[in-house]
Amino acid sequence: MLNRTPFYDIHEQAGAKLIDFGGWEMPVQYAGIKQEHHAVRNGVGMFDVSHMGEFYVSGDQALDLIQLVTINDASTLTPGKAQYSAMCYKDGGIVDDLLVYMLGKDEYILVVNASNIQKDFDWIKHQNSFEATLENLSDDTCLLAIQGPRSVETLQKLTDTDLSGITFYTFETGSLAGFADVTISATGYTGEKGFELYFNKGRVDAEAMWNAIMEAGQEFDIQPCGLGARDTLRLEMGFALYGNDITKDTNPLEARMGWLTKLNKPNFIGQEALKKAKEDGIKRKLMGLMIDDRRAIPRSGYPIVNENDTEIGHITSGTRSITLDKNIAMGYLPIEKAEVGTKVHIQVRNRTAGAEVVKPPFLEKK
């Protein structure tokens, strides 16, 4: 039996098409991916992402544990700030990418991918030789993402917390839609202005929360959005998806996550391997591809080939970009082919299409 979020009945009533996503029965689309995608780019959309995992790390050495397992420098966080990070294995391969929230001194929340919850929890627990307590709050935590240029106006109707004061990658805890203890975080996976709301399912009536937000967003034509639009939106921004673009067989340096890999912070798992990989020079790089053939829609796994039709890599994520109406993809390219402007080809079933190497995002950052 698949896991369900507290919003399952709402999704069904809204006519969502539900799919199995990493063991969760989740909406892939409601009215249609295009309509949902445009709502987030131009108005506002709401995603149920309650399947994601939340771990509470506390105690005198909570920071030490987090520093050991993550590659970004969590010691730079202050209460109310969030940080994008990743966990690596000893060989530098990626365990998962995650968000680290600092609630207060010795109190943190780690937010991980749904399909990795058990793996990540076991991994961190295994590294915990510290005075730190690790608690899995995933089953009790709801997460709604409200994303798009009208997200501020939508949510401001429901809270006294000044949302314009919550800057990117910071958060506040306040009441929203009449429910106390809602964590309002200015984060997201769409490239648009937006918020992610965390709340406890025992203390908040999830359906009432959903309905209040839908009502507040009605004047902006708010759309419930599924995982399909979430994927097209993140791909236009070049955000990596664990399992596709980053895996245990890729390291953060080649995945263009060097900016968050703090090689010089105190000891962390994967540090030696990553330092060596950097010294030796990385051999391949995750880059964007702009496909010049409308008929060739790239999909994960399709080969990237050179002028001699020799396979030099494969596509890790691809789609027809709904905003640009062009075919876009990401994939690892050998370093000599990874330069922006390089021409390569991709094989889409029975045809070969030209592609140009670009540096994501495919859309201008806002």
Partner 1 sequence: MSNPTNLKYTREHEWIKDNGDGTATIGVTDFAQSELGDIVFVELEEPGFTFEKDEEFGTIEAVKTVSELYAPVSGEIVAINEQLEEEPELVNDDPYGDGWMITIELADASELDELMSADEYDQITA
Q: Which is nearer to partner 1, 270 or 298 (CB)?
A: 298
Q: How far apart are CA 359 and CA 256, in angstroms?
A: 10
Smallest gap from Cβ 96 to partner 1, in A, equals 23
Q: How far is the CB of 236 from partner 1 (least distance, A)?
A: 12
* Rounded distance between C-alpha atoms, residue 105 and residue 67, angstroms: 14
- Tell me the closest approach of the beta carbon of residue 226 to partner 1, in angstroms: 9
Q: What is the DSSP letter of 201?
A: T
Nearest by Cα to 271 from 285, 244, 253: 253
- Give the DSSP per-residue string, 32-72: -HHHHHHHHHHS-EEEE-TTSEEEEEESTTHHHHHHHHBSS
Count CA within 13 A, CB hemisphere, residue 215.
9
Indicate whether 297 belongs to the interface with partner 1 (CB under 8 A).
yes
The distance of closest approach from Cβ of residue 322 to partner 1 in the complex, given in angstroms and rounded to an integer, is 7
Q: Count residues near partner 1 (CB under 8 A).
A: 17
Look at residue 355 and give its three-state secondary structure.
strand
The distance of closest approach from Cβ of residue 320 to partner 1 in the complex, given in angstroms and rounded to an integer, is 5
Give yes or no for residue 238 binding partner 1 (CB under 8 A). Answer: no
Q: Which is nearer to partner 1, 116 or 321 (CB)?
A: 321
Which region among 80-88, 114-122, 272-280, 316-324 touches partner 1 (by CB under 8 A)?
Answer: 316-324
Minimum CB–partner distance for residue 249 and partner 1 (Å): 24
Q: Is the peptide bond before 361 cis (omega within 30 degrees of 0)?
A: yes
Contacts of 280 (CB under 8 A, 6+ apart): none
Q: Does 190 bind partner 1 (CB under 8 A)?
A: no
Choice between 70 and 347, CB closer to partner 1: 347
Window of 59-67, 97-105, 305-313, 319-327 that interacts with partner 1 by CB under 8 A = 319-327
Assigned token pair, 118: 């058990």
By CB under 8 A, is residue 214 in contact with partner 1? no
Please identify which residue in the block is written with the tokens 């025992």. 202
Pairwise CA distance, residues 146 & 74, whole Å: 26
Applying CB under 8 A, does 326 fall inside the site for partner 1? no
Residues 300, 57: Cα–Cα separation, whole Å: 35
Least Å distance between CB 28 and partner 1? Answer: 7
29 binds partner 1 (CB under 8 A): yes
* Residue 125 vs 294, nearer CB to partner 1: 294
Q: Is 299 in the site for partner 1 (CB under 8 A)?
A: yes
Which residue, 21 or 84, has its beta carbon nearer to partner 1?
A: 21
Among 203, 276, 294, 366, binds partner 1 (CB under 8 A): 294
CA separation, residue 142 to residues 22, 80, 126, 198, 211 (Å):
17, 19, 26, 6, 14
Helix, strand, coil distribution of the chain in percent, nearest 5 = 25, 35, 40
14, 21, 22, 34: which one binds partner 1 (CB under 8 A): 34
State which of residues 48, 192, 231, 245 lies at the interface with partner 1 (CB under 8 A). 231
| Cα–Cα distance measured from residue 71 to residue 86, given in angstroms and rounded to the nearest whole number | 6
Contact set for partner 1, span 337-356 (CB under 8 A): 349
What is the nearest approach in angstroms of partner 1 to the Cβ of residue 40? 14
**Quick count: other Cβ atoms within 10 Å of Cβ 3?**
18
Please give the residue ranges that form the binding site for partner 1 (CB under 8 A).
17, 28-29, 32-34, 228, 231-232, 294-295, 297, 299, 319-320, 322, 349
